[in-house]
Structure 1
Amino acid sequence: MSTLSQFISDLASNPTLQQDYLNDPAATMQKYGLQSHEVEAVLTADKAKVEQLSGKTTHAVTFFFPVK
Protein backbone atom coordinates (compact mmCIF):
# COMPACT_ATOMS: atom_id res chain seq x y z
CA MET A 1 0.00 0.00 0.00
CA SER A 2 1.37 3.41 -0.93
CA THR A 3 1.87 6.10 1.69
CA LEU A 4 -0.84 8.18 -0.01
CA SER A 5 -3.25 5.27 0.03
CA GLN A 6 -2.52 4.64 3.72
CA PHE A 7 -2.97 8.34 4.48
CA ILE A 8 -6.39 8.38 2.81
CA SER A 9 -7.42 5.27 4.73
CA ASP A 10 -6.19 6.68 8.04
CA LEU A 11 -7.82 10.04 7.37
CA ALA A 12 -11.19 8.33 6.96
CA SER A 13 -10.98 6.69 10.39
CA ASN A 14 -8.65 8.69 12.64
CA PRO A 15 -10.28 11.69 14.38
CA THR A 16 -6.94 13.17 15.45
CA LEU A 17 -5.61 13.05 11.90
CA GLN A 18 -8.90 14.54 10.66
CA GLN A 19 -8.55 17.47 13.05
CA ASP A 20 -4.91 18.04 12.10
CA TYR A 21 -5.88 17.93 8.41
CA LEU A 22 -8.72 20.36 9.00
CA ASN A 23 -6.34 22.80 10.72
CA ASP A 24 -3.48 22.54 8.20
CA PRO A 25 -3.85 20.06 5.34
CA ALA A 26 -0.44 20.58 3.73
CA ALA A 27 1.52 20.36 6.98
CA THR A 28 -0.42 17.28 8.06
CA MET A 29 0.31 15.46 4.80
CA GLN A 30 3.99 16.44 4.89
CA LYS A 31 4.28 15.28 8.52
CA TYR A 32 2.64 11.98 7.50
CA GLY A 33 5.43 11.54 4.96
CA LEU A 34 3.72 12.33 1.68
CA GLN A 35 5.91 13.67 -1.10
CA SER A 36 5.32 17.17 -2.48
CA HIS A 37 3.67 15.90 -5.70
CA GLU A 38 1.26 13.80 -3.61
CA VAL A 39 0.39 16.77 -1.42
CA GLU A 40 -0.18 18.92 -4.49
CA ALA A 41 -2.46 16.31 -6.08
CA VAL A 42 -4.63 16.19 -2.97
CA LEU A 43 -4.71 19.95 -2.42
CA THR A 44 -5.67 20.64 -6.03
CA ALA A 45 -8.27 17.85 -5.93
CA ASP A 46 -6.71 16.19 -8.98
CA LYS A 47 -8.72 12.99 -8.77
CA ALA A 48 -6.95 11.28 -11.66
CA LYS A 49 -3.51 12.03 -10.18
CA VAL A 50 -4.54 10.90 -6.69
CA GLU A 51 -5.85 7.65 -8.15
CA GLN A 52 -2.65 7.16 -10.14
CA LEU A 53 -0.40 7.87 -7.14
CA SER A 54 -2.40 5.82 -4.65
CA GLY A 55 -3.16 2.97 -7.03
CA LYS A 56 -6.81 3.08 -6.02
CA THR A 57 -10.03 4.54 -7.30
CA THR A 58 -11.13 7.39 -5.06
CA HIS A 59 -14.63 8.03 -3.87
CA ALA A 60 -16.06 11.17 -2.35
CA VAL A 61 -16.03 11.05 1.44
CA THR A 62 -17.96 13.37 3.70
CA PHE A 63 -16.56 14.12 7.13
CA PHE A 64 -18.66 15.43 9.97
CA PHE A 65 -16.68 17.37 12.53
CA PRO A 66 -18.16 18.10 15.94
CA VAL A 67 -18.75 21.74 16.73
CA LYS A 68 -16.70 23.04 19.62
Structure 2
Amino acid sequence: MAKELDFEQIKSAAEGYGKDMTAFLRAMISHPSESCEEGEVVACIKAEMEKLGFDKVEVDGLGNVIGWMGEGDK
Protein backbone atom coordinates (compact mmCIF):
# COMPACT_ATOMS: atom_id res chain seq x y z
CA MET A 1 0.00 0.00 0.00
CA ALA A 2 1.31 3.45 -0.88
CA LYS A 3 2.47 5.71 1.92
CA GLU A 4 0.09 8.62 2.51
CA LEU A 5 1.74 11.97 1.87
CA ASP A 6 1.32 14.97 4.15
CA PHE A 7 0.06 17.83 1.96
CA GLU A 8 1.27 20.53 4.36
CA GLN A 9 4.77 19.03 4.36
CA ILE A 10 4.84 18.96 0.57
CA LYS A 11 3.46 22.50 0.34
CA SER A 12 6.04 23.79 2.81
CA ALA A 13 8.89 22.15 0.91
CA ALA A 14 7.61 23.51 -2.42
CA GLU A 15 7.35 27.04 -1.05
CA GLY A 16 11.07 26.89 -0.27
CA TYR A 17 11.78 26.71 -4.00
CA GLY A 18 9.66 29.74 -4.95
CA LYS A 19 12.50 32.16 -5.63
CA ASP A 20 14.47 29.60 -7.64
CA MET A 21 11.42 28.66 -9.71
CA THR A 22 10.62 32.31 -10.39
CA ALA A 23 14.20 32.94 -11.54
CA PHE A 24 14.08 29.86 -13.79
CA LEU A 25 10.75 30.90 -15.32
CA ARG A 26 12.10 34.40 -15.98
CA ALA A 27 15.20 32.91 -17.62
CA MET A 28 13.06 30.70 -19.86
CA ILE A 29 10.70 33.44 -21.00
CA SER A 30 13.57 35.83 -21.68
CA HIS A 31 14.39 33.78 -24.81
CA PRO A 32 12.30 34.00 -27.97
CA SER A 33 10.73 30.59 -28.55
CA GLU A 34 8.50 30.67 -31.57
CA SER A 35 7.78 27.36 -33.24
CA CYS A 36 10.94 25.71 -34.59
CA GLU A 37 13.08 28.37 -32.88
CA GLU A 38 13.14 27.03 -29.33
CA GLY A 39 16.88 26.31 -29.23
CA GLU A 40 17.74 28.94 -26.60
CA VAL A 41 14.94 27.81 -24.29
CA VAL A 42 15.95 24.17 -24.75
CA ALA A 43 19.54 25.07 -23.81
CA CYS A 44 18.28 26.99 -20.75
CA ILE A 45 16.22 24.01 -19.55
CA LYS A 46 19.04 21.55 -20.21
CA ALA A 47 21.52 23.71 -18.27
CA GLU A 48 19.12 23.98 -15.31
CA MET A 49 18.62 20.21 -15.21
CA GLU A 50 22.38 19.66 -15.28
CA LYS A 51 22.82 22.25 -12.50
CA LEU A 52 20.25 20.38 -10.41
CA GLY A 53 22.26 17.17 -10.72
CA PHE A 54 20.25 15.04 -13.12
CA ASP A 55 22.22 11.86 -13.86
CA LYS A 56 21.74 12.27 -17.60
CA VAL A 57 20.25 15.06 -19.71
CA GLU A 58 19.85 15.01 -23.46
CA VAL A 59 17.89 16.66 -26.23
CA ASP A 60 16.13 14.30 -28.62
CA GLY A 61 15.73 14.77 -32.36
CA LEU A 62 12.49 16.72 -31.88
CA GLY A 63 14.03 19.20 -29.44
CA ASN A 64 12.58 17.70 -26.26
CA VAL A 65 14.79 17.88 -23.17
CA ILE A 66 14.85 14.54 -21.38
CA GLY A 67 16.42 13.98 -17.98
CA TRP A 68 17.05 10.93 -15.83
CA MET A 69 17.57 10.59 -12.10
CA GLY A 70 18.21 7.29 -10.41
CA GLU A 71 17.69 3.83 -11.80
CA GLY A 72 14.08 3.04 -10.88
CA ASP A 73 11.32 1.72 -13.08
CA LYS A 74 10.13 3.96 -15.90
Normalising by structure 2, what TM-score? 0.29
Q: Which structure is higher in helix share? A: 1
- Higher-Rg member (1/2): 2
Highest RCO, 1 vs 2 (Cα 8 Å, sep ≥ 6)? 1
